[in-house]
A = this chain, B = another copy of it.
Amino acid sequence: MSLSYYAQESHGPFETFDLGDFELESGDKIRGLTLAFATFGTLAPDKSNAVLFPSWYSGTSKILEQAYVGAGRALDPEKYFIILVNQIGNGLSSAPSNAPSPFNAARFPRVSIADDVRAQHRLISEKFGIKQLALVIGGSMGAQQTFEWAVRFPDAVKRAAPIAGTARVTPHNRFLVQSFIDAISADPAFGDGWYQDGAVHRGLRNHARVFAASGFTQDLFNKSAWRDHGFTTTDDFITGFVENHFLPQDPNNLILLLRKWQGGDSSRVTDGDLVAALARIKAKTFVIAIDEDAFFPLKDIALQQKLIPGSELKRVSSIWGHLALFGTDAGFNAAIDQHLNDLLAA
């Protein structure tokens, strides 16, 4: 972990919202929860143009801005007030890496997707006085938060665009994500979460490789499609792109996020009844799936989409697979923008 990685100079500018002591779904609590967020555009006087975009696994508000926000994009700050919020545990918001001792590092409590959404609801209500969001959008773990928003606060979400994620994780998804956790924690330097700065780099490198093996498509490797981004060999690409992405991040933060991912289940709102949970959704919902996605397969997403009243399944395709979310594929970005434009016009 590099301390400056989570700082304003790397991922800012961002603001913070202090929620005080925050009770978690588990009954545990975070002392002095802080949500970091970045906004773009201006909130309309009637507060009708707010878009909420929570971050995904290992991402921050910065990558959301770079990949999805801009003049001429669907999320255009000229039209919308866009709130990019960092999920709990990502290191900009409260996380194992920045919590004060003794509740830091391995002692930071477990967090659920629902905890994030409850905290974000306070952010938009208390900080901005927004009662209904024009759109909640998110990819991967951001999609998990988007589903949770639409289920938990149906009147607060006018439109929803969960991309490449599910309302409830599948057994295979939980199992796959455990292999990401194991890759980090198998590093003896991890020491149950009590490690020296930078010491767990082997675990982070192994994690990056297991993550990449299914995060990208087979064709990306077989056709060397990473060449467009200036890499020279598979190893050069994985080291320069994927290891480089994870190495500056904090191992406890990543594991906290992965466990949160594994626990993603909006049906807890309705005591485990997924049909009842998704029937609660009032938002006009475009459920967007990536055809080649091996983390959240089209098939699993389609099964859950069918349970959302009036929803539509939108399919996009990318040789980058799940990790097209990063914004590496111009065609993918354009397809997402088209779907968002259609949804925002609805």
Which residues of A does B touch, CB under 8 Å?
170-176, 178-179, 182-183, 186-188, 202-203, 206, 209-210, 212-214, 218-222, 224, 234, 238, 294, 297, 299-300
Chain B min CB distance to A135 (Å): 30
Complex CA–CA separation, A183 to B294 (angstroms): 20
CB neighbours of A224 from chain B (8 A): 171
CB neighbours of A299 from chain B (8 A): 218-219
Complex CA–CA separation, A165 to B136 (angstroms): 44
Highest count of chain B CB atoms <10 Å: which of A183, A188, A210 = A210
Q: Are A218 and B300 CB-contacts (below 8 A) given A171-B234, A175-B213?
A: yes
**CB-based closest 8 A-B pairs:** A172-B221, A172-B218, A171-B221, A188-B188, A170-B222, A176-B213, A186-B186, A179-B210
Complex CA–CA separation, A173 to B238 (angstroms): 14
Q: Is the CB of B170 within 8 A of A218?
A: yes
20 CB-based A-B contacts, threshold 8 Å: A171-B224, A172-B218, A172-B220, A173-B218, A175-B213, A176-B213, A179-B206, A179-B209, A182-B183, A182-B206, A182-B210, A183-B206, A183-B210, A186-B202, A186-B203, A213-B214, A218-B297, A218-B300, A219-B299, A294-B294
CB neighbours of A179 from chain B (8 A): 206, 209-210, 213
Q: Is the CB of A209 within 8 A of B182?
A: yes
Q: Is the CB of A175 within 8 A of B221?
A: yes
Q: Is the CB of A209 within 8 A of B171?
A: no
Report the nearest B residue to A218, measured CB to CB: B172
CB neighbours of A186 from chain B (8 A): 183, 186-187, 202-203, 206
Contact of A300 among B171, B188, B222, B238 (CB under 8 A): B222
CB neighbours of A297 from chain B (8 A): 218
Chain B min CB distance to A303 (Å): 9
CB neighbours of A219 from chain B (8 A): 172, 299
Chain B min CB distance to A59 (Å): 22
CB neighbours of A176 from chain B (8 A): 213
CB neighbours of A188 from chain B (8 A): 188
Complex CA–CA separation, A41 to B42 (angstroms): 82
Complex CA–CA separation, A300 to B178 (angstroms): 28
CB neighbours of A238 from chain B (8 A): 175
Complex CA–CA separation, A250 to B182 (angstroms): 21
